[in-house]
Structure 1
């Protein structure tokens, strides 16, 4: 039977530079604060390291160690966990989002749009495939940070219900983050969730958070600038009612992406 509600937790946190063990330990402590009914915990981009362009400073084994840690925490708290990490595989680095369920299922999405201004395209291999996850009656489309600036990549041609962006989005461009999250929700008639980090990193960038959830009409449901966990309940009925009343998606353009 499909669920009518999805209870989510957005973990807005500072990150310790290139220190996977400490970041996992810090997050494990935060998870002890979670209520029992949380279905999905969303972490920021590169939550084990910060937005590093020197992933070679981190052992290649940290990818699997983090998957194992996510599985352990997901089972312990009976929830799914998602967020991205620098991941080494097949001789290449990826900015890889992991989506791990309590039942042991593991999905991944590799960031399609690597951030040229930081030289991410020189370090990390860009992904070529989207990921749609059917989870507890909701179709979830997870993406990463800079992907937010590219509406064609997120266009709702697959009838998803929830669009997620995990990020290390710096304070000087936070106005764009707020505007684009709202726009992605409205144009795709879906919930849109953005989870950003806070604090400062080793490279000198400051992050002001602004993690938030928007409904399919672009109304902001929750928001924070603090280091904290915020919660929201997504309702399948809201999606169905909005799309049945306002049939905008029926007029969407048809196109084929060339990668």
Structure 2
């Protein structure tokens, strides 16, 4: 139905800088998800983990992963999204891809590169947000560190669902929990965060806490384990809340500088 969106959040460890191995693991998860799933959401840099050495990844791996998303999504009739290392010319991007069942590819380059890890020295920052219309929902997908910047996330385009894909480390996971709820409430939108778990090659630990929140900040789904989380988002319920609580009508008007 056009007014419902069935989502599946894949929360798993990632293999360091090994796209083929990660595609293999993730494909097993995706092939095992519930029937009637509309959208599968994968973590940030789901083929490599959060690497600051993208030159270790063959340039062909970016297009190969997008082709994999197209083939798998088309076969299973679902959309797949998550971010990957992508090389374009001499530049590297932390590029989120949203691939619909018909094979259409929508991309967003992470705007807020994570300076604490030196991501800004390695990856080019994006400049434009992405809004995808899918199954009756307007969706704004963002990446990890973008979560800390409410102006960039602000619901100025009447989206219905805000998505963050991440490699958010365990020592700061309390901030992840708080900010996901805050983004849902202040934007009167569903908000989904998909994080990885496990320990990466650099020793950083990840605690998951992938979650789905409604426009009032109530928890629809949450986990700290290796799992697939499921949720059904209902446009009618969202419209009802927005109709009663017209907070978005009072939002500030502003423009962003490049």
Tell me the TM-score normalized by structure 1.
0.99
Shift of 1:31: 1.3
Instruction: List aligned pairs for 1:123-162, cutoff 5 A.
Output: 123-162=122-161
Please give the secondary structure, in 2, of the residue aligned with 1:254.
coil
For each residue in 1:204-234, what CA deviation from the matched residue of structure 2 results, as whole angstroms up to 9, or x when unmatched?
0000000000000000110000011010000
Q: Does 1:245 align with 2:244?
A: yes
SS of the equivalent of 2:236 reads helix
TM-score relative to the length of structure 2: 0.99
Q: Distance in 2 between matches of 1:212 and 1:206?
A: 18
Which residue in the other structure is 2:218 paired with?
219
Measured in 1, the distance between the counterparts of 2:194 and 2:178 equals 14
Structure 2 counterpart of 1:61: 60
Following superposition, the deviation at residue 36 of structure 1 comes to: 1.7
Spell out, residue by residue over 1:83-120, the C-alpha distance to the aligned partner (whole angstroms, 9 max, x if none): 00010003200000000011011000000000000000
Alignment-derived partner of residue 196 in structure 2: 197
| In 1: Cα distance, 2:13 partner to 2:223 partner | 13
Aligned-partner SS, 1:242: helix
| Distance in 2 separating the partners of 1:155 and 1:26 | 34
* TM-aligned CA deviation for residue 60 of structure 1: 0.6
Tell me, in whole angstroms, the C-alpha distance in 1 between the residues paired with 2:227 and 2:188.
28
* Corresponding position: 1:210 with 2:227: no
Give the distance between the partners of 1:222 and 1:104, measured in 2 at CA: 28
1:107-153 per-position Cα deviation (integer Å, ceiling 9, x unaligned): 00000000000000000000000000000100000000000000000
Deviates more, 1:14-23 or 1:27-36: 27-36
State the distance in 2 between where 1:215 and 1:30 align.
25
Structure 1 match to 2:80: 81
Following the alignment from structure 1 to structure 2, what is the Cα–Cα distance between the partners of residues 184 and 250? 17
Q: In 2, are the aligned partners of 1:40 and 1:79 still within 8 Å (CA)?
A: yes
Unaligned runs of 5+ in 2: none
Partner of 1:10 in structure 2? 9
Aligned pair count reads 258
CA RMSD of aligned residues (A): 0.7
Q: Contact 1:192–1:214 at 8 Å: present in 2 too?
A: yes
- Find the counterpart in structure 2 of residue 113 from structure 1: 112
Look up the match of 1:181: 180
Aligned partners of 1:36 and 1:77 also within 8 Å: no
How far apart in 2 are the matches of 1:75 and 1:254?
A: 39
Equivalences for 1:159-170 in 2 at 5 Å? 159-170=158-169
**Alignment match, 2:41:** 42
Distance 2:229 2:147 in 1: 21
Task: Determine if contact 1:75/1:102 at 8 Å carries over to the other structure.
Answer: yes
**How far apart are residue 175 of structure 1 and its match?**
0.1
Distance across 2 between alignment mates of 1:84 and 1:74: 16
